[in-house]
């Protein structure tokens, strides 16, 4: 039987950021770190070990030191002050504590060279962290679309990926993303390259070309358990990161 150490070496540990939400379970109604199970199932199917990271404290370096890769998950809108804008009436449910934690964690991850994947909100965090801005309410720009068809309903958006990009190498030239977002990239952050576009021109994927694996997608790949190629690519990058860390 393999030891815990052998299992640790065989399967990378991938941190996934969580939300702090009030939830009911059993007889309890209390605040706790929560995350849709789809993230956990997708990461497990891709060969990684998911580690849930609650947005509490400031032990960024210690967290990063224990991980082989990081997923910034979806969730609430980012405070517009972080990209020098006033709040749009539709920018709601802002979580400054989560913002502070995830921007701090991302900075530590980038400093360490940790492989990073941003999903939906995480994609937006990545862009803002690199100095970019957000369009605060996408329907103002493109009208009612499949990006967010209704509350708690995912739309399907065709995404064209740039030939020669890392993400095109993983997913092919065209893919379909399950989307639920009312915000999007406005001005692209310095150091990022836009490599995926919806038919209406909305940026749906970015990557950092000077890093081994730093990228983000505006859609929710965890919602398609029949296709975990993006998570598997992160796991592969995490294996390479760990191997280099131990040379």
What's the CA gap between 93 and 95, in Å, rounded?
6
- The residue with tokens 């990461």 is 43
Q: How many CA atoms lie within 13 A of 232 on its CB side?
A: 10
- Residue 245: which of 116, 117, 106, 113 has the closest Cα? 113
What's the CA gap between 50 and 222, in Å, rounded?
13
Pairing of strands 214-217, 116-119: parallel
Is position 120 annotated as part of the catalytic site?
Answer: yes
Q: Which of 102, 120, 147, 223 is catalytic?
A: 120
Helix 121-129 and helix 96-112: axis angle, to 10°?
Answer: 70
Q: Which of 102, 124, 207, 222 is catalytic?
A: 222
Q: Which of 147, 179, 220, 223 is catalytic?
A: 220
Close Cβ partners of 60 (under 8 Å, ≥ 6 residues apart): 104, 105, 107, 108, 109
Is position 222 annotated as part of the catalytic site?
Answer: yes
Strand intervals (E) in 106-238: 116-119, 134-135, 155-161, 174-179, 184-185, 193-198, 203-207, 214-217
- The catalytic residue positions are 120, 220, 222
């Amino acid at each position: 039987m393999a030891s815990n150490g052998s299992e640790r070496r065989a399967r990378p540990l991938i941190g996934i950021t969580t939300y702090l939400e009030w939830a009911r379970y059993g007889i309890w109604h209390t605040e706790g770190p929560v995350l849709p199970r789809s993230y956990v199932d997708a990461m497990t199917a891709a060969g990684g070990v998911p580690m849930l990271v609650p947005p509490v404290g400031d032990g960024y370096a210690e967290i990063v030191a224990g991980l082989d890769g990081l997923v910034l998950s979806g969730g609430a809108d980012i405070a517009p002050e972080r990209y020098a804008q006033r709040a749009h009436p539709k920018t709601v449910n802002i979580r400054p504590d989560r913002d502070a934690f995830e921007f701090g964690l991302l900075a530590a991850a980038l400093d360490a060279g940790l492989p990073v994947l941003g999903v939906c909100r995480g994609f937006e965090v990545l862009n803002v962290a690199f100095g970019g801005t957000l369009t605060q309410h996408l329907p103002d720009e493109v009208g009612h679309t499949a990006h967010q068809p209704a509350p708690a309903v995912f739309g399907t958006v065709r995404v064209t990926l740039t030939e020669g990009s890392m993400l095109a190498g993983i997913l092919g030239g065209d893919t379909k993303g399950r989307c639920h977002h009312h915000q999007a990239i406005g001005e692209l952050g310095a150091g990022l390259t836009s490599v995926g576009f919806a038919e209406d021109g909305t940026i749906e994927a970015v990557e950092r070309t000077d890093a081994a694996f730093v990228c983000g997608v505006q859609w929710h790949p965890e919602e398609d358990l029949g296709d975990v190629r993006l998570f598997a690519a992160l796991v592969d990058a995490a294996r390479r990161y760990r191997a280099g860390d131990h040379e």
